[in-house]
Structure 1
């Protein structure tokens, strides 16, 4: 499968790459993507069915009749009994009005059932206690009574129905109270302790289909890729294993989204870039800080433990040698060479000025020099002499040092000088007061360096580096020197 380029304006190119695949395989992948999308829609509907059941019951009652058995939902006996008694009262009122012993008996039953409705709360099991509170509030408002039980007793009384038009009161009940009571249900528990749910019956055909597809894909990959075992191909498409988990079905959104990406219906390249950038910024900053703090901390601990002192007192036994070169002496020799060959030629005018000034100052202290300046034509002669002497002295010194370094004996002398310099410096640094001061300065210097770099990292962050890397990748990719790289797993039938 061609890898989708990670760029901003790549949708058309991305779709063109998808069309290059075998049309039969692409069609099969799209069919499986449709099946996966249908399964995800069913999963989301099943998850949201209970919270939205009241809406379905009022707008799509046929849907609740069809799907309630899937969720194990059956009518609640208490609330259904209550509504049946109300129906009997309505029939009796329509038959004989507000007179008759039968009506009195039915209203008495209804008052008792109303008290049981309030006390026993048959809505609790369905997690619809709020519905009961809504019923009580509406009855209180209708009867202008603070007591819910009292409101029901008054409402279901012959005197109230006689005093008020009973058809209007029953219309209020059927419109505002009955739908709330009818929305209650009973849902039994299974042996696992959870509510009965037969969604697995609908989900099982999809699981079997995805299982067959998964086996075919892993077998195809294991035969196509040399040296790839069956176990490796199983973990290559690990995200498809989420189809087979009987719980947390919402996690299937991950493999389904990837399938839609693989068939070209959606493009996750931008999201992939953002995720990679976020991970790079987070990990790079944290890792840099950790490495920096640990490295500087190790150096500080080594200084505090007396590494410098050990090197000064016992330089041979406490040092790990990787060659036969004395690095300290070699560094001194290199510093001398750089000074003579590179630095001194650039400082020649300054050195001449210093020497000339020194000569003039030295001559000014001689009485003969001051007297000579009084003679005619001798005013500028000392300065001319000083200038020539300083220039000659500077050139001679530089030439002499260069010849000495080019001579073998001169090299040996400088080697000996470096060795003696190291020994003398080591001896002077063994003074405890000097050594403590050096260790303290080095420790503070490392601490300041650590804090400075951390401050810069915190202020700058990893966004600049990640953006620059992405820009370089895009430039290189556009120039054709680097192929696109896909991190999101691709289809096995590519």
Structure 2
């Protein structure tokens, strides 16, 4: 019986183990949430430049905060242009349209418009479509086909007097200024790449992921002595993207695995749907390859004669266990046949012997002469039945007693050995060997061709759907 101290220690260890397991589950969920947060930041960083104009409208504070990390700063050409527009609006409100200061600002804007069209400051930031939209809008508003002449016409005091300042101001605020604000200048590194200091944020997560992976793999290696730290780390290969400073979008893989493992989100169905088509055709391809390779290797074995002569030495063949496994299998089959099968088929054996003896007696010359004697007419029925029963019982008993008797066992082993040797010699003769090898090779080739033909007729997606149904049934049974 267990001592009181052992029982108390088990009671203490059990709650402690449960607490550790619960803490480990919560820690895994927290790490998974950290990966999700990091991945959201990664995708935000990847999409920031294309969506920067959207953030400018709805989140201008975010743009002001994040632009320095991407090396983005206002472009001098468009910034000066916007500054002159703002000054012009202030001058118009205080001095009027005909004031010399206003005329000077309009002339300055006409000059800057020419520089804008000639230099195309949008080219460096890759906003060719924005620049084209800007030219299209000024052309449509002034109804002039040339963008340069359209700007020259627009920044004229006489033109503003014709259309009115409110109309011009509305066009400037709604059509020109938003497109001018989209343009920016982005700093580059000596290597020619754009400045991107997202690593300053990402390195915090990378350090956390590295420490968490190191500790977890060390715990796994400590719990299982057969698993070294390197093996445990290799089995977590899918978490390596968490440590890479490039291709950060690959962190989707460890996030999906972690979500499924911690039960935060069931992504198995999503992964199954995403990989449905590739998995179906890949499985079909692999099954064909495996079947053809198996049959080809079997054909090679048949043609070499190793299948018909298992005792033939082969240096490339690896034997496992007792070399006399075939003899043991044969001995076991003989034992089953003698002790189990023969008593079961004894009635059929009696009928066969009775029929054979009756035919032999009725067809013999001796019986034809004996029928002439009185009392021999009923001999075949009684005699044959008795002899048949005796022979059947004797056959079963002889085989059973011979197999269990030491001397009989020796005789049976000798008979079995001689039978196998005789059969092996006959199979290894040139004529029989070539014929059997050819027949087996043709049979395997026929199997291979017909399998490939049938597999071409079957849709692998149907098979994969059947596999999915079986998996669902298995999961439902396990949940019960």
TM over 0.5: yes
Between the aligned partners of 1:23 and 1:357, the Cα distance in structure 2 is 78
Aligned 1:326-337 pairs, distance under 5 A: none
Equivalent residue number for residue 56 of structure 1 = 55
Matched position secondary structure for 2:121: coil
1:325-350 per-position Cα deviation (integer Å, ceiling 9, x unaligned): 6956x766665554444333222322
- Of 92-101 and 406-415, more deviation after overlay is shown by 92-101
How far, CA to CA, are the matches of 1:22 and 1:415 in structure 2? Answer: 61
Using the TM superposition, give the Cα deviation of residue 364 of structure 1 relative to its aligned residue in structure 2, in angstroms. 4.9
For 1:126-141, list aligned pairs within 5 A.
126-141=125-140
Separation in 2, partners of 1:234, 1:400: 63
Tell me which of 348, 351, 365 is aligned to 2:349.
351
1:404–1:410 CA contact under 8 A, matched in 2: yes
**Aligned residues of 2:29 and 2:264 also touching (Cα < 8 A):** no
Once residues 308 and 209 of structure 1 are traced to their aligned partners in structure 2, the CA distance between those partners, rounded to angstroms, is 59
Q: Deviation of residue 132 (structure 1)?
A: 1.4
CA distance in 2: counterparts of 1:19 and 1:323, whole angstroms: 48
Structure 1 distance, partners of 2:108, 2:359, is 130
Question: CA distance change for structure 1 residues 436 and 122 in 2, over 3 Å: closer, same or farther?
Answer: same
8 A Cα contact 1:33 1:260, kept in partner: yes
**Where does residue 82 of structure 2 map in the other structure?**
83
CA deviation after TM superposition for structure 1 residue 438, in Å: 1.0
Cα distance, 1:253–1:98 mapped onto 2, change above 3 Å = same
TM-score by length of 2: 0.65
Decide whether aligned partners of structure 1 residues 210 and 348 sit closer, same or farther in structure 2, where only a CA change above 3 A counts.
closer
RMSD (Å) for aligned C-alpha atoms: 6.0
Q: Give the CA deviation at 1:181.
A: 0.6
Give per-residue Cα distances to partners, 1:394-428, cap 9 Å, x unaligned.
33444445455555554444444334433433443
Shift of 1:444: 4.6
CA offsets 1:281-313 (integer angstroms, 9 cap, x no match): 99999999887766654443222123357x49x
Alignment deviations for residues 363-407 of structure 1 (CA, whole Å, 9 cap, x no partner): 555799799999999987643443333323333444445455555
- Which SS does the other structure have where 1:193 is aligned? coil
Distance 1:470 1:275, change over 3 A: farther
Q: C-alpha displacement at 1:78, in angstroms?
A: 1.0
Q: 2:433 pairs with 417, 432, 435, which one?
A: 435
Range 371-380 or range 65-74, more displaced: 371-380
> Which residue number corresponds to residue 178 of structure 2?
179
Distance 1:37 1:378, change over 3 A: closer
User: Which stretch of the first structure deviates more once superposed, 162-171 or 353-362?
Assistant: 353-362
- 1:128 touches 1:184 (CA, 8 Å); kept in 2? yes
Distance 1:260 1:430, change over 3 A: closer
In structure 2, the partner of 1:303 is 302
Q: Is the 8 A contact 1:140 1:151 kept in 2?
A: yes
Judging changes above 3 Å, is the alpha-carbon distance between structure 1 residues 158 and 225 closer, same or farther for their aligned structure 2 residues? same
- C-alpha distance in 2 between matches for 1:108 and 1:52: 34
Q: Please say which of residues 88-97 and 408-417 is displaced more in the overlay.
A: 88-97
Q: CA deviation at 1:215?
A: 12
2:416 and 2:435 map into 1 onto residues whose CA distance is 25
Match of 2:151 in 1: 152
Residue 70 of structure 2 aligns to a residue whose secondary structure is coil
Where does residue 166 of structure 1 map in the other structure? Answer: 165
Going from structure 1 to structure 2, the CA distance change for 1:375 and 1:100 (only over 3 Å counts) comes to same
How far residue 123 of structure 1 moved from its aligned partner, in angstroms, is: 1.1
Cα distance change on mapping 1:91 and 1:239 into 2, 3 Å: same
Deviation digits for residues 242-270 of structure 1 (CA, Å, limit 9, x no counterpart): 777655566778889999999xxx74485
Contact 1:71 1:199 in 2 (8 A): yes
SS in structure 2 at match of 1:51: coil
1:387 and 2:385 correspond = yes
Distance 1:100 1:241, change over 3 A: same
Alpha-carbon separation, structure 1, partners of 2:419 and 2:102 = 123
Measured after TM superposition, the shift of residue 439 of structure 1 is 1.2
Call closer, same or farther: CA 1:101–1:269 in 2, change over 3 Å.
closer
Structure 1: segments with no counterpart, 5+ residues: 1-15, 479-494
Structure with the bigger RCO (C-alpha within 8 Å, sep 6+) is 1
**Are the aligned partners of 2:259 and 2:266 in contact in 1 as well (CA < 8 Å)?**
no
Distance in 1 (alpha carbons) for counterparts of 2:471 and 2:260? 25
Deviations 1:28-79 (A, max 9, x none): 9999999888777666554443333222322333443344334332221111
**Helix, strand or coil: the match of 1:307?**
coil
Three-state SS of the structure 2 residue aligned to 1:125 is coil
CA–CA distance in structure 1, aligned partners of residues 214 and 313 of structure 2: 66
CA displacement at 1:187 relative to structure 2: 1.8
Q: In structure 2, how many angstroms separate the alpha carbons of the residues matched to 1:462 and 1:254?
A: 24
Whether contact under 8 Å (1:210, 1:243) holds in the other structure is: no
1:69 equivalent to 2:77? Answer no
Q: Verify the 8 A CA contact 2:135 2:147 in the aligned structure 1.
A: yes
Pair 226,79 (structure 1): closer, same or farther in 2 beyond 3 Å: same
Cα gap change, 1:371/1:238 in structure 2, threshold over 3 Å: closer, same or farther? closer
Matched residue, 2:6: none
